[in-house]
Amino acid sequence: MASPDPDATASDDRGLGRVSHGYAPGGPADAPPPVPLSDIVRDVVDDLQATAKAELALLEARGAVAGHGIKWASVWGFIAACALLVAMLAVAFGAILALMPHVGALLATLIVFAALILLAAFAGWRAKRSADDIRAAFRSDLMPEEED
């Protein structure tokens, strides 16, 4: 009879002697015991709860980032609007001073005033069109049905 291999007994002590490199001298490995359905359902419910909590945390984080962006966009937009107002005043005063020697102070003021009113009317009309586009994008019935 052959004597047992000392390396095989050492690996048996570690639990690795039964399967080595795809060869199973003791036969196929034991099948794992079946998992009860209640454990599977509990794991699924736990996973769904964890997923829901993660989604809510993501939404909260996205809201915080959006709030931060809105705050700073508003601040910088206000600064830009103030700078634009000062620039428009400078242009208006400069235009009045440039026209004054040619047409007089009152007519120069009226010409610049009319030009700025026309510019404001055009900008208001464009803003209204853009607001209508936004309103149309958020309308729930994009193709309203008309009654005959």
pLDDT digits (tens, 9 = 90+) for 34-47: 888 898 999 999 99
Helix (H, G, I), strand (E, B) or coil at 32: coil
Amino acid at the residue 122: F
CA distances from 50 to 41, 42, 59, 113, 131 (A): 14, 12, 14, 63, 40
Name the band, by pLDDT with cuts 50, 70 and 90, for residue 50: very high
Which residue has better confidence, 26 or 103? Answer: 103
d(CA 7, CA 13): 10
Question: What pTM was computed for the model?
Answer: 0.47
Which residues, listed in sequence order, are joined to residue 130 by a DSSP beta bridge?
A: none
Q: Is 36 left (phi over 0), alpha (psi -120 to 50) or beta?
A: beta
